[in-house]
Chain A
């Protein structure tokens, strides 16, 4: 868990944006612990400012997501341990987060964790109508049905597989 010690080889704070990105890969969404915030697509940019401070832009998945504050605190913590206690964290609203920003690696991890990743791109007409085929993350069957548009967190809906009969979470496509 202590990513800062593996990245920092010298004595000074990390200097390159790529090192900051690597640090951020150690920060996880508390509600989906299998995903890093980079894989979730909520880190919008990393910059080294002229005054030497690191600046990180984060975007919320949903406006009311309670994990947002925890994530911001975790980012601050990780950066402080890497020598950037004065890091600037900005909230980026535009463009708004979309589930299309979840990386391929992130989708694979979600599936392995038992959460069906978004079935489509948001630009697909099927996604717009909410009719995309959702595959069961356990048996792979697309014989699934939606139990409820809403699930255990703002970003998930509740599904059931009619082949293996297991209920599962589906990451909403927005």
Chain B
């Protein structure tokens, strides 16, 4: 946490440094979740869900490409989307801790997806009005795709939650276990606050009740219990990750690390 503060406060242009960090947070969140969903290819419970998860992964990776390309331009050190995706180490990734959590069963993947989709939808809807034009353009594109993703994850959450005793038990357990990772989604740090003050990013304290309302509505229909809030919060968005990210990166980055510069 102190590392993040120092990096941004010590920068010649603190707003630009914060913007870079914020764009990496969004881009890394999409990239890591896209990689996780890709693990389902060939393994989903039915062909339709295999295609569904792969399609969502594709949208997410597409969004990550736009965001990481922009991040590389803000940084101005000649790193493109590929360099940022494949040649950074774990502590330089700023994705939400929630998205790096393992897939588990289909129900757990769906619960994770619901929590993130609802968050991304709020963020992208707000970013459409960002004072940063490029970010607003990317958000306008992503928001349409995200709305569609949420329809899918909310639909499955309701079917599984309000399904059989077994499916209900499994998604409730997944929700209980993933809930602590949602704190950072709605808790602003100095980067969120600085960018909100410039109209670049939405204030998280305004976004939080909308995210909560959206989630509560789905949970109610799914007959699921909203877990109690926990005092401890993860901060993947500050580069402090769970033990799972390293394994994910090892697989995702293997080719570029083993064969530097390899191309299709």
Q: Measuring CB to CB, which residues of chain A are less than 8 angstroms from any residue of chain B?
A: 60, 62-66, 93-98, 130, 147-152, 154, 158, 172, 174
Interface check B83, CB cutoff 8 A:
no
Q: How far is the CA of A97 from the CA of B137 in the complex (A)?
A: 11
For the complex formed, measure the closest distance between the CB of A122 and the CB atoms of chain B, giving whole angstroms.
8
In this complex, which of A94, A95, A98, A151 has the most chain B Cβ atoms within 10 angstroms of its Cβ? Answer: A94
Q: Is the interface of A mostly helix, strand, loop or mixed?
A: loop
Given contacts A151-B55, A158-B48, 4 further A-B contacts (CB under 8 A): A64-B59, A64-B60, A94-B137, A150-B152
Interface check B65, CB cutoff 8 A:
yes
Residues B48 and A148 in contact, CB atoms below 8 Å apart: yes
Flag B115-144 by CB within 8 Å of A: 1 or 0 each: 000000000000000000000111011101
Residues of A within 8 A of B140 (CB): 93-96
Q: How far is the CA of A65 from the CA of B143 in the complex (A)?
A: 16
Residues A63 and B141 in contact, CB atoms below 8 Å apart: yes
Residues A63 and B66 in contact, CB atoms below 8 Å apart: yes
- Known A-B contacts A94-B140, A150-B51, A151-B51; the reply to A63 vs B62 at CB < 8 A is yes
Q: Of residues 136 to 172 in B, which have CB atoms within 8 Å of A's CB atoms? A: 136-138, 140-142, 144-145, 148, 151-152, 155
Residues A149 and B148 in contact, CB atoms below 8 Å apart: yes
Chain B interface: which size bin? 20 to 34
Residues of A within 8 A of B49 (CB): 148
Residues of B within 8 A of A149 (CB): 52, 148, 151-152, 155
- Known A-B contacts A94-B137, A94-B140, A95-B140; the reply to A63 vs B51 at CB < 8 A is no
Q: How far is the CA of A62 from the CA of B52 in the complex (A)?
A: 15
For the complex formed, measure the closest distance between the CB of B146 and the CB atoms of chain A, giving whole angstroms.
10
27 residue pairs from A and B, CB less than 8 Å apart? A60-B62, A60-B141, A62-B58, A62-B62, A62-B145, A63-B145, A64-B59, A64-B61, A64-B65, A65-B58, A93-B66, A93-B137, A93-B140, A94-B140, A96-B140, A96-B144, A97-B141, A130-B151, A147-B48, A149-B52, A149-B151, A149-B155, A150-B51, A152-B51, A154-B58, A172-B148, A174-B144
- Known A-B contacts A93-B66, A149-B148, A149-B151; the reply to A62 vs B59 at CB < 8 A is yes
Residue of B nearest to A155 (CB): B55
Residue of A nearest to B49 (CB): A148
Q: How far is the CA of A32 from the CA of B17 in the complex (A)?
A: 42
